[in-house]
Amino acid sequence: MRYEVRLAGTGGQGLILAGIVLSEAALMEGYFVVHSQNYGPEARGGNSVSEVIMSDEEIDYPRTLGIDILVALNQRACNDSLHDMKEDGLIIVDSSAVKKVLWGKVLRVPLQRETDHRFKDPRVVNMLALGILTPFCPLVSEHSMTEALTSRMPAASLEHNLAAYRYGVRRGQELESSTHFHEFEDATDV
């Protein structure tokens, strides 16, 4: 089984780190993994794409063939990735930044707004997104993701990032149990 995840947005949102954490979690689960990253020359503000391919067999082609889950933190990232999606793939978008998605399975979550309000730190949007993604990604567990995150994060920011990740997992579990994919925009608890 080959499973592909793309995390896409703007440079500075921590998507490369998020892809590394996801990759390491999949390795801990015993899968073969390829992680690739692509970002613009700007330090912040340019495009940033982190792709993770996981498989129970050796990966002979290191590029995406069909994305199972896309996390898009801006409109351009969403638009540019639609043609790479598997037919039944899931798109998780930051509803504050992505207004139009021409796709069937879409979860709209105000990611940046939730990180700003709940954590008072826009830099943890990557961990919130990873948390939301976890219940939908059958190849990684919350345990392996937490282990990978703990091994990658500096001690000074670990608890803050773990809190954002764990909150994201709870939100993802709520979404997973919901049958309403298209318009999730509940900011009442932020």
Q: What is the pLDDT of residues 46-104, one digit of tens each?
A: 788 999 999 999 999 999 999 999 999 999 999 999 999 999 999 999 999 999 998 88
Check whether 184 has a pLDDT greater than 90.
Answer: no
pLDDT-derived band at 189, boundaries 50, 70, 90: very low
Query: Which H or E run contains 108?
Result: strand 105-109
Maximum pairwise Cα distance, the chain: 46
Query: Which H or E run contains 38?
Result: strand 32-39
Residue 164 has a pLDDT of 96
Q: Does 3.40.50.300 match the CATH number of domain 2-109+137-155?
A: no
Average pLDDT for the chain: 90
Instruction: Name residue 51's amino acid.
Output: E
Check whether 180 has a pLDDT greater than 60.
Answer: no
User: For residue 161, what are its two tokens?
Assistant: 């990032």
Strand 32-39 and strand 47-55: the pairing is antiparallel
CA angle 99/100/106 to nearest 5° reads: 100
